[in-house]
């Protein structure tokens, strides 16, 4: 019985564009666990016992949070469901601070990518173009690796049904567009059965593990694998960098509108998700200080 309720819940939320792969696995796991206890409704005690099976505090918290969201939904139709208490597993969720790449660091990364072996092959050009695209357009790595040749249009990159099952058009700067067109001329010579933009010399699509390993190798080559005791930058930090640089170039009086456009550009389903990509840089802090000074001056001149 509970399994059917879970399936109906997942189907309804997926209509709204959510993929819910993690939710599905965990909720079905809870449904089996509850059924073994002879229960066909969410019970708080059972929920805590089930969530407590995970080894880490963080995993327990995630399990319980997903189940609470489910319980709140189904209880609206059936008061027989109980909503488990929150904060039972109170391990704090710490978000890792991203590395915001300086323009010089990106230049060195691209230069190192161009020196990859085998010299003169498609590999160095592929990595140069891939990392440049991530840094300039703020794509998710999975989105870039999924790009097909036909997704490159005159109006930009067509990003098909990704994280939130949304399809969006991502405009490119003229320099990015020129670099991509130049790469595609080399890409055509590789051929292969796949129509993916980024391929190996054998014509096979690039995989995330291979790209991530090469990214870390290049960071070591340019001396960015360690940063004052912080973990090495991640490839996903290029997306953070593109977001921050975009906001830096925004006129102060257009920030609100720019944030809405930026959220759509990044493919976020909620504006709040975009805020996680915004981080303080000297340029942004100067802009904030100037805005505060202007506001203070205006208020001081008011009668």
Angle ∠(180,185,189) on CA atoms, nearest 5? 135
> In what helix (H) or strand (E) does residue 171 lie, and over which residues does it extend?
none
Per-residue pLDDT, 69: 94
Per-residue pLDDT, 120: 82
Counting Cβ atoms within 10 Å, is residue 101 exposed (0-12), middle (13-18) or buried (19+)? buried
Whether 223 and 278 map to the same domain: the answer is no
Whether 150 and 217 map to the same domain: the answer is yes
Residue 88 counted as domain residue: no
Residue 226 counted as domain residue: yes
Per-residue pLDDT, 258: 60
> Is 239 one of the catalytic residues?
yes
Whether 195 and 136 map to the same domain: the answer is yes
pLDDT, tens only, 235-276: 999 998 988 888 777 766 665 666 667 676 677 666 556 656
Per-residue pLDDT, 86: 86
pLDDT, tens only, 84-118: 998 888 755 566 788 889 999 999 999 999 999 88
Q: Is the pLDDT of residue 168 over 70?
A: yes
Per-residue pLDDT, 229: 62
Considering the candidates 41, 65, 69, 163, report the single residue annotated as catalytic. Answer: 163
Direct distance between the N- and C-terminal alpha carbons of the chain, in angstroms, rounded to an integer: 69
Which sign does the torsion angle of CA 199, 216, 244, 136 carry? negative
Whether 163 and 54 map to the same domain: the answer is no
pLDDT, tens only, 13-52: 887 667 788 999 999 999 999 999 999 999 999 999 999 9
Residue 83 counted as domain residue: no
Whether 127 and 205 map to the same domain: the answer is yes
> Is 268 one of the catalytic residues?
yes
Whether 108 and 54 map to the same domain: the answer is no
Whether 123 and 163 map to the same domain: the answer is yes
Whether 205 and 257 map to the same domain: the answer is no
Whether 249 and 221 map to the same domain: the answer is no
> Is 87 one of the catalytic residues?
no
Q: What is the CB neighbour count within 10 angstroms for residue 91?
A: 12
Residue 269 counted as domain residue: no
pLDDT, tens only, 175-196: 999 999 999 988 887 666 678 9
Task: For the sheet with 156-159, list strands across it.
Answer: 152-153, 156-159, 168-170
Partner residues linked to 170 by β-bridges: 157
Whether 8 and 35 map to the same domain: the answer is yes
Whether 56 and 139 map to the same domain: the answer is no
Residue 87 counted as domain residue: no
Whether 207 and 289 map to the same domain: the answer is no
Q: Where do the DSSP E strands lie in the chain? A: 152-153, 156-159, 168-170
Residue 84 counted as domain residue: no
| Domain coverage including residue 147 | 103-237
Q: Is the pTM of this model over 0.85?
A: no
SS3 letters across 225-251: CCECCECCCCCCHHHHHHHHHHHHCCC
Number of domains composing the chain:
3
Q: Is 214 left (phi over 0), alpha (psi -120 to 50) or beta?
A: alpha
Which of 197, 50, 194 lies closest to 137, judged by CA?
197
Considering the candidates 43, 125, 239, 240, report the single residue annotated as catalytic. Answer: 239
> Is 37 one of the catalytic residues?
no
Considering the candidates 65, 73, 140, 279, report the single residue annotated as catalytic. Answer: 140
> Is 234 one of the catalytic residues?
no
């Amino acid at each position: 019985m509970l399994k059917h309720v879970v399936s109906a819940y997942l189907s309804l939320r997926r209509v709204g564009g959510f993929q819910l792969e993690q939710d599905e696995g965990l909720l079905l796991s809870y449904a089996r666990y509850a059924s073994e206890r002879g229960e066909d409704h969410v019970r708080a005690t059972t929920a805590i016992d089930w969530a407590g099976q995970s080894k880490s505090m963080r995993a327990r918290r995630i399990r319980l949070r997903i189940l609470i969201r489910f319980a709140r939904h189904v209880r609206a139709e059936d008061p027989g469901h109980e909503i488990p208490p929150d904060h039972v597993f109170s391990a704090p969720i710490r978000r890792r601070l991203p590395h915001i790449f300086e323009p010089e660091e990106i230049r060195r990364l691209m230069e190192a990518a161009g020196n990859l072996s085998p010299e003169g092959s498609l590999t160095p050009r592929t990595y140069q173009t891939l990392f440049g695209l991530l840094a300039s357009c703020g794509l998710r790595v999975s989105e870039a690796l999924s790009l097909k040749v036909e997704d490159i249009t005159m109006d930009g990159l067509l990003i098909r049904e990704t994280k939130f099952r949304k399809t969006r058009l991502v405009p490119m700067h003229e320099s990015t567009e020129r670099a991509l067109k130049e790469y595609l001329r080399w890409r055509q010579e590789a051929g292969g059965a796949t129509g993916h933009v980024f391929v190996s010399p054998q014509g096979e699509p690039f995989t995330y593990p291979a790209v991530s390993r090469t990214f870390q190798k290049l960071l070591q080559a340019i001396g960015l694998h360690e940063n004052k005791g912080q973990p090495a930058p991640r490839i996903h930090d290029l997306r953070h960098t593109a977001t921050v640089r975009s906001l830096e170039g925004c006129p102060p009086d257009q920030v609100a509108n720019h944030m809405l456009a930026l959220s759509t550009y990044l493919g976020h389903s909620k504006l709040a998700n975009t805020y996680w990509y915004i981080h303080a840089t000297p340029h942004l802090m100067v802009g904030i200080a100037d805005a505060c000074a202007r506001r203070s001056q205006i208020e001081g001149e008011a009668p």
